[in-house]
Amino acid sequence: MNTTTISFLSFFAILAAYYYFPLVGKRPWPFGLESSGYANFNRGRLLLFFLMVLLTQFGLVVFSMVNKCHGSVGQNIGSAALITLLPWTLIFGAMIVLLQLYPSLKAPFSDVVGYYFVANQADQLLKTLLTPSSSADASAAAIMKIFGDKSVLINKINPENFETMWTTMAPLIPSDGQNQKASLFNLIVMKDNVGEAMWYAYTGILVIALVSYNLASRGCRRDLATVQANYSAYLDSQKKDDEKKQEQQQ
103-147 pLDDT tens trace: 999 999 998 999 989 988 888 888 777 765 544 555 555 665 655
Q: What is the DSSP letter of 132?
A: -
Res. 170 pLDDT band, cuts 50 70 90: confident
Q: Tell whether the torsion through CA atoms of 92, 97, 99 and 104 is positive or negative.
A: negative
Read off the DSSP letter of residue 153. Answer: G
pLDDT-based confidence at residue 82 (cuts at 50, 70, 90): confident
Residue 48: pLDDT above 90?
Answer: yes
Domain ranges for the chain, please list them: 3-103+197-220, 108-189
Encode 47-59: b = buried (16+ Cβ within 10 Å), e = exposed: eebbebbbebbbe
Distance, in Å, from the CA atom of 190 to the CA atom of 131, rounded to the nearest integer, reads 24
What does the pLDDT read at residue 134?
Answer: 47
Average confidence score pLDDT of the chain: 82
Q: Please give the pLDDT value at position 77.
A: 78
What is d(CA 144, CA 140) in angstroms, rounded to the nearest whole number? 7
Is the pLDDT at 225 greater than 80, yes or no? no
Contact status, residue 129 vs residue 184, Cβ threshold 8 Å? yes
What's the whole-model pTM score?
0.81
Tell me whether residue 183 is exposed, middle or buried, using C-beta atoms within 10 angstroms of its C-beta: 0 to 12, 13 to 18, 19 or more: middle
Q: What is the pLDDT of residue 148?
A: 56
Q: Is the pLDDT of residue 193 over 60?
A: yes
Least confident stretch, 11-25, 146-160, 208-222, 225-239? 225-239
pLDDT at 194 over 90: yes
pLDDT at position 36 over 70: yes
What does the alpha-carbon distance between residue 78 and residue 136 come to, in Å, rounded to a whole number?
A: 67
CA 108 to chain centre: 15
Which ranges of the chain would DSSP assign to H, the alpha helix? Answer: 3-20, 35-69, 73-87, 94-101, 107-109, 115-129, 138-146, 162-169, 181-217, 224-249
Model pLDDT, residue 175: 74
Band (45; pLDDT cuts 50, 70, 90)? very high
Is 155 a residue whose pLDDT tops 90?
no
More confident residue, 19 or 77: 19
Per-residue pLDDT band at 32 (split at 50, 70, 90)? confident
Q: Which of 197, 183, 185, 179 is nearest to 157 (CA)?
A: 185
Residue-level pLDDT at 137: 55
